[in-house]
Structure formats: structure tokens, C-alpha cells
Amino acid sequence: MKRWLIVGAIWALGAGVDEANRFVERGNEFVRKNSLPRAKAEYQRALQAFPGHVDALYNLAIVQERLGETNAALATYQRYLEVKPNDADVWTQLGVLHEAQGDKAAAEADYRKALAGDPQFGRAHHNLGVLLEEQGRVEEARQHLAEFVKLEEAAGRQNGDAYYSLGVLELRQLQVKEAKRWLQKALDVDPSVPWYNNAMGDVYLLEKQPVLAIAHYEKALAKDPQYAVAYSGLGEARAAQGDREKAAAAYRKALELRPDYPVVHYKLGLLYEETDPAAAIKEFETYLRSAKNSPHKEEANRRLAKLKEKTTTSGK
């Protein structure tokens, strides 16, 4: 969901406004030329001429975001909200920035303020739904994501990302039928999107249909050859087919693309468990060292202890 700069000035009123408007237009021209530092300077000059110029504040904040100046962007958005306190778009973007900084509580508050200002603002429903789902607040998350779908369809839009987010929520709850329905709607909108295909691959894995899973993972990788998550799923599907060599190759490719991918070490441990206990031990140990809040910690420890016991016994 892209956001755009205000490129046609909403002319303000008051002393210094004409000068500020000229600086805003110059800033917009530099944005069109992708000269962001110069655009930033022009918007700042506009605010010196007229501190409450909403176009200058909004556009400056976006440029600061694009330049990686997150704290400055947050401060600029706050200044904007002093002028327009009920702007749902800006409250939502504050939430995005707070999420990027790891401040989930602030992000949730921002999204709720956006919806207080405009209950029909779809992007706030979507972002809040995703945030709540990550925190395990599934029912409320489902309500917000479903509302986003409803709003998009009421506006005549078939939004693949709206369907995808709801599908992923259902997938994580192991509601395979519902997940499949929403993900298929996402793929109907755009069958080439890598993450749509990857999620559908995960659905087919749960349904124990590795051939169909592989087809979707390969579609994801055809569009994005650097997609480590799809290689991880592909490895799991190959393992389900009994093709250990191709499974290992897919897992290794996932780690090549994303070295900090602990769950792939766990999957490699499972793959090597019967054929190469020493390699399996190494992979489980790597997983346990590198994973934070690891969902497979208990199972990895159990399998590791069993492998070590077996290795010790066979060595006597």
C-alpha cells in the first residue's frame, strides 16, 4: 500500500504563505527528480516561512522516511498532527514507524487513533489486524482484517494483499480450508506475487500434497530468486517426497541467502536424523544457539539428546 507526496499544493492562508508555497513546489520538483536531500531543504525552507504549512510538513516527513531519518520523520508527523489532529493517514504512518522501531504498544495506539479519526480507513484496519495477529490476539485481528477486505471490495477494489493477510492468519491457525480460500482470491488478483505463492505452498504442505506445494514454491522463486523463505518451504516439500538430496540443496540455498535463518537448521536436523546423526547433531545445536523464542526448542532438545545417546551407545 503505497503513500504519495502531496504534489499539488493545498494552498494555505496567512503571512508568508506565498513564499512557503513556492518552496513546496520546488521541493516537489526535486522529488520528481529523485533529489531527496534538495527536496528536504526546500520543505524546511517552506516551514521557516510558514511553520504550519501542512503540505510541507507531510512531504518533508515522507522524504525523511525515504532518507532513513526515522526519528526526524516521527517528529515531523507529530508537528503535522498539531495542525490536523484527526488525519488517519498520518496516524497510520506513525504506527508504521513505531513498529519499525519495535514499539508495538505505540504502534497499536497510533492505529487506534487513526480509526478514531476515520473508522473507514482501511490501511489502519489492515496494519492493526496484522499487529494483533502477531501478538496472538487472533479474534480481534480477524475482525480488522475482514473489515479491510470489506472496505476494499465496497470501493470496487480486489486487493490481493487484503486477501493474503487474512489467508495467512487462517493458515497460522491451521484453518486450512479458509486459508486456501483467501489465498486463492489473492492469487486470482495477481498469480505472480511471490509471497502469495509461498503461502499457498505452505497450505499444500499442510494438506500433504508436496507436488502442488513445490509448484507454488517454484512460482515464487521464478519471480524472486532471492526468496529464502520459499527455498525453506521447497526443502520441506522435497523432504516430504523423500528426495533428501534436493531437500538439502534447497535448505542450503535458503541459508546462503539468509544466514540468520534458525528454523532451516532445525529442518536440516530432521533431514539428517536417520542418515547422518553427526550432521543432525550439529544442525540441532546450531538451531538452539541461534533461535530466539524458538518454537521447536523442546523438540530439538529431545531429538538432540536422543541422537547423542545413540551416538555414545554405538561408540562403546
Residue 2, pLDDT above cutoff 80:
no
pLDDT at 291: 78
What is the DSSP-derived secondary structure letter of residue 7? -
pLDDT value, residue 1:
41
- Mean pLDDT for the chain? 93
Tell me the whole-structure pTM to 2 decimals. 0.85
Tens-digit pLDDT profile for residues 197-244? 999 999 999 999 999 999 999 999 999 999 999 999 999 999 999 999
Structure confidence at residue 295 as a pLDDT band (50, 70, 90): confident
Please report the pLDDT score of residue 4 as a whole number. Answer: 43
Query: Tens digit of pLDDT for each residue in 44-87?
Result: 999 999 999 999 999 999 999 999 999 999 999 999 999 999 99
Q: How many CB atoms lie within 10 A of CB 241?
A: 13
pLDDT band at 14 (very low <50, low <70, confident <90, very high): low
Q: What domains are there in the chain, each with its CATH number?
A: 1-85 (1.25.40.10)
% pLDDT > 90, the chain: 89
The pLDDT value recorded for residue 5 is 52
Q: According to the model, what pLDDT value does residue 178 have?
A: 98
Q: Does residue 8 carry a pLDDT above 80? A: no
81-128 pLDDT, tens digit per residue, is: 999 999 999 999 999 999 999 999 999 999 999 999 999 999 999 999
Q: Determine the average pLDDT of the residues in 302-314.
A: 87
What is the amino acid identity at position 164?
Y
pLDDT over 60 at 256, yes or no: yes
Confidence check: pLDDT of 314 > 70: no
Band (11; pLDDT cuts 50, 70, 90): very low
